[in-house]
Amino acid sequence: MHELMLAESVVRLVEDTARQAGAKRVTRVRLALGALAHVDPDALLYCCELVARDGVAAGAVYEVDRPAAEAWCANCLRIVVPAAAGASCPDCGGFELDIRAGEEMRVIDIAVA
């Protein structure tokens, strides 16, 4: 399962960061999950809690930012906001879109105790 693998890498990064900071417990994890990322946020958070349950990040609260999608339309010659991955240009209906933002998934920061 895609989300489980992502959750494992997120939790590993969070735990490594917490360890380096000498933290006993992670209280909050902030994630950026682009609007076009092929990830189900609910499934990802469920998997994170599952993967983290025996570590320093157990019980952490997750906050998910959804950075907006941006794509360059080769027809309109400007940045547009596609509604979804694989969607056409909202202005001209064309499919010549070059995705510039919205596919990213990363940990923004964590709070520790």
Interface ranges with Zn ion (CB under 5 A): 73, 75-76, 89, 91-92, 94
Residue 48, CB-side half-sphere exposure with 13 Å CA sphere: 29
Cβ–Cβ under 8 Å, residues 85 and 38: yes
| Closer residue to Zn ion, CB minimum distance, 51 or 73 | 73
| Closer residue to Zn ion, CB minimum distance, 50 or 92 | 92
| Closer residue to Zn ion, CB minimum distance, 67 or 75 | 75
CB of 90 to Zn ion, least distance (A): 8
Walk across the sheet containing 78-80 and list its strands: 78-80, 70-73, 97-101
- Beta strands 105-112 and 97-101 are unpaired
CB of 36 to Zn ion, least distance (A): 16
Residue of minimal Cβ distance to Zn ion? 89
CB of 82 to Zn ion, least distance (A): 10
| Closer residue to Zn ion, CB minimum distance, 14 or 80 | 80
CB of 83 to Zn ion, least distance (A): 13
- Beta strands 26-33 and 105-112 are antiparallel
- Beta strands 26-33 and 61-65 are parallel
